[in-house]
Structure 1
Amino acid sequence: MILLSQVEYIGVCSRLLYVFSRMSNDGDVDKWLELIKDCKYLPETDLKKLCTIISDILFEESNVQPVFSPVTICGDVHGQYYDVQELFKTGGYPPDTQYIFMGDFVDRGYYSLETLTQLLVFKAKWPHRLTLLRGNHESRQVTQVYGFYDECMKKYGNANLWRFCCRLFDLMPIGALIDNTVLCIHGGLSPDIGTIDQMRTIERDQEIPHRGGFCDLMWSDPDDIDWWAISPRGAGWLFGEKPTNQFMHNNQLTLICRAHQLVQEGIKFMFNERLVTVWSAPNYCYRCGNIASILAFHTSTNYETKLFSAVPDEKRQIPSKTTTPYFL
């Protein structure tokens, strides 16, 4: 007969509860995998449960989540559900392909809710095959202006699900680190943050502030300048080659991957190919005419760009009425 201490007994009970909870959740997740096909969203009670499952997963993830290659990097997708399916056709569906999405899942596109729901269901089913980083649009203030709030109100008749999703946004990691040498982040650098260890100490469980290091990481952009400059966005900074090289040297990085900026060619390397912008929303806002890309890392130093175009209008469902010009 084996006698357990109180601590050991509590530990065993906790693990058993986790296993039984996981088994119960798996049934729901499999059901949701079927429901999200063909651009559908979940019933209110199901989406609340999904948000709770994802919250538990995100609580265990670091501010800068470690990821190991092979992995594919994606930029903004902005609620363009049908183009996200083209992204998965290009790069492979989970769990066969591991992904890092660098934020801005919602706003401006027709189907922010369906797009976010699909990514959350994939995360619930294969938590270690998808890393979902926060972008500047994963914010209460921004989503009330650029579409996600209105979409939740229209489809659910209340703001409850929007609040659940915003609470989830607060828990998303700020960045990811591939093989300890490639940093993935939504926006860019900050004059207040010189090391990845400083990023790890940020209190991320909050609305994105209007200024400071956390804000800069979500809003900053690279530019052909030497040092720092005021950003025309009104948040974050423009940063040049010198602060980029300094940050990379201090943190022993080989590449910085970021999103946040529309790139007509889908991808743009800067600063002697030490920084790259990946854009994954083709024909952005259904009017920009750009192509999109994902960046597939076989190893941290061996990667390839995969380009894809927007799905033709005849192969997507277009809402009959759009009244708010979210592309401003």
Structure 2
Amino acid sequence: MKQAVLDVDGIIDALLKVQYMEPNTEVDLPEEQIMLLIEAAQQIFATQPVLLDLQTPIKICGDVHGQFFDLLRLFTMNGFPPECDYLFLGDYVDRGKNSIEVLCLLFAYKVKYPDRIFLLRGNHESDAMNQLYGFCDECVRRYSPLLYLRFEECFKYLPLSALVGRRILCMHGGLSPEITSLDDIASIERPCEIPDEGLVCDLLWADPKRDQEESWCPNERGISYTFNEDVVADFLDKFNLDLICRAHQVVENGYEFFADVQLITLCSAPNYAGELDNAGAVMIVDSDLACSIAVLRPRETERKYLVGDAFFEDDSDPDFMDEDEYS
């Protein structure tokens, strides 16, 4: 019997063909091809560092959560690989209707352009979350339990953090009291599970919290910590960094600053889970480390965004806008 060969271009073409179809349209990719794609992507993840060292310019994206058609909008507005480099901060699956399509497109681009697109692990890249929030059900309904298990194994090899331009530290969740050196992150071994506590847990689960007096407090999520502004300032000073970039939370405008402009939260899933009226955002980091924000508006809504003292009406044709630069 002839051995199957991965057709990366065929996968990408099939996924892009539905771009202008009804949202939530499913793409019927052959399961055998998806299995081969997962294997190829996993091999690349395993050979690249757990703490990525990335150069600029690059575009950084937050949670996607199965919103495949919004991912296509994001690429349409900001450029499809390999037009520019991308870093995604995790949470590709669950809640949305098309988690399989999201993973297959991102994995296919990773295989085709391994040094142009980078994918971090989020807290939803885990069996415990996927059993509860939809990804497991989607895999079993559309394909098989075996495909689901194969995705779960691959998730264990995803990198956990990235250092952009030596000055911007990125992760899905947040900081950890266990970080004494960036080598603590770089030395994490994979494949790894997400434990209930410790460094890996915090990188994927921790949150910043305003007006918190204590540096670290138990997180209301029931796992990991919340940290205050002083923790961020001290961390940046200690490690000679400019910015913490993370995801993990829905924010109304698609992005939100914390501790002045020392930490930014990104969410790239507009109309989160089809229930909220939030925008999505992408952070664009130029070669000189100047940053700007591209906002992906909610579908079929009219909103106003406040940038400084100026309101921007959301009634023009483009689906996004570049906000003020900051440095």
> What secondary structure sits across from 1:151 in the alignment?
helix
Secondary structure of 1:171's match?
coil
Number of the residue aligned with 1:142: 129
Q: Match for 2:270: what amino acid?
A: P
Which residue does the alignment assign to 1:31? 10
**In the alignment, what sits opposite 1:298?**
286
CA deviation vs aligned residue, 1:153-208 (integer Å, no higher than 9, x gap): 0001x211111111111000001111111111000011112321111112241221
Amino acid paired to 1:304: S
CA distance in 2, matches of 1:312, 1:122: 29
Q: Which residue of 2 aligns with 1:52?
A: 39
Aligned partners of 1:199, 1:247: CA distance in 2, in Å? 14
Whether 1:244 and 2:232 are equivalent positions in the alignment is yes
In the TM superposition, what is the alpha-carbon distance from 1:63 to its structure 2 partner?
1.1
Measured in 1, the distance between the counterparts of 2:178 and 2:104 equals: 34
2:238 is aligned with 1:259: no
Give the TM-score normalised by structure 2: 0.85
Distance in 2, matches of 1:87 and 1:41, equals 22
CA distance in 1, matches of 2:101, 2:299: 16
1:80 matches 2:59: no
Letter in 1 for 2:10: K
Equivalent AA in structure 1 for residue 158 of structure 2: M
Secondary structure of the 2:162 match is strand
Q: Which residue of 1 aligns with 2:277?
A: 289
How far is the alpha carbon of 1:299 from its aligned partner?
2.9
**Could you say which structure has the greater relative contact order, defined with CA pairs below 8 angstroms and 6 or more residues apart?**
1
TM-superposed CA distance for 1:250, in Å, is: 2.1
1:1-328 matches, within 5 Å, as 28-37=7-16, 38=18, 39-156=26-143, 158-224=144-210, 225-226=212-213, 227-299=215-287, 301-312=289-300
SS where residue 131 of structure 1 aligns? strand
Q: Which runs of 5+ in 2 are unaligned?
A: 19-25, 302-327
Helix, strand or coil at the partner of 2:264: strand
Runs of at least 4 residues of structure 1 off by over 4 A?
none
The superposition leaves residues 248-289 of structure 1 with CA deviations (integer Å, 9 ceiling, x where unpaired) of 122211111000011011111111201000110001010111
Q: Distance in 2 between matches of 1:173 and 1:242?
A: 27
Shift of 1:30: 1.4
Percent sequence identity over aligned pairs = 38
2:56/2:289 contact within 8 Å kept: no
Kindly indicate whether the alpha-carbon contact (under 8 Å) linking 1:178 and 1:300 is maintained by their aligned counterparts in 2.
Answer: no
* Distance apart, 1:301 and its partner CA: 2.9
Deviation per residue, 1:31-87 (Å, 9 max, x gap): 211122215142111111001111111111111111101000000000001111111
Alpha-carbon distance in 2 for matches of 1:311, 1:83: 9
Instruction: Give the CA RMSD over aligned residues.
Output: 1.4
- Normalized per residue, the structure richer in helix is 1
Q: What SS does the corresponding residue of 2:156 show, helix, strand or coil?
A: helix
Which residue identity lines up with residue 274 of structure 1 in the other structure?
Q
Paired residues of 1:186 and 1:218 also in contact (CA < 8 A):
yes
Distance 2:84 2:276 in 1: 28
* Count of aligned residue pairs for this structure pair: 287
Q: Secondary structure at the match of 1:36?
A: helix
- Give me the whole-angstrom Cα distance separating, in 2, the residues matched to 1:93 and 1:78: 19
Report the Cα offset of residue 312 of structure 1.
4.6
- Counterpart CA distance in 2 for 1:41 and 1:87 is 22
**Partners of 1:238 and 1:41 in 2: CA distance:** 41
Aligned mates of 2:299, 2:103 — CA distance in 1: 18
- Rounded to whole Å, the distance in 1 between the matches of 2:254 and 2:201 is 25
When normalised by structure 1's length, the TM-score is 0.85
State which structure, 1 or 2, has the greater radius of gyration over its C-alpha atoms. Answer: 1
Q: Deviations over 1:276-327 (max 9, x none)?
A: 00110001010111111100001353011000123459xxxxxxxxxxxxxx
Q: Which residue number in structure 1 is paired with residue 304 of structure 2?
A: none
